[in-house]
Amino acid sequence: MNQQGQAVVEYMLMIAVITGFFVTMTTLISKSGISAHLMQSINKKFATVYRYGKSDVLGFDDPNGPKDHPRITQSGNFRIFLVVH
């Protein structure tokens, strides 16, 4: 039985299967729009939390004006900020 190179062929087949799975998954993700949906939460919600510290805050440059912004006074809007220089 001549079995030289069998391990190499098996590794090449495994790499081909893994690469095919990766290409198939990336194609399905891009066609189904899952990536756009995930990026929407990153671009909107996480960005707002990073800027203002709260997810439902609207800033001065947002279309509906400031809402629960740290620099405006409204009922129920009380946050203490510590500024360290």
Q: Mean pLDDT check: name the lowest of 26-35, 48-57, 69-78.
A: 69-78
Determine the pLDDT at residue 40: 81
Determine the pLDDT at residue 55: 75
CB neighbourhood size of 54 (10 A): 13
Give the pair of three-digit tokens for residue 52: 């203002």
Residue 67's beta-bridge partner residues? 58
Q: What is the pTM of this model?
A: 0.46
Tokens 């690469």 correspond to what residue? 19
Question: pLDDT grade, residue 62 (50/70/90)?
Answer: confident
Across all residues in the chain, what is the average pLDDT? 79
Determine the pLDDT at residue 37: 82
Which residues have CB under 8 Å from 53's CB, separation 6+? 70, 79
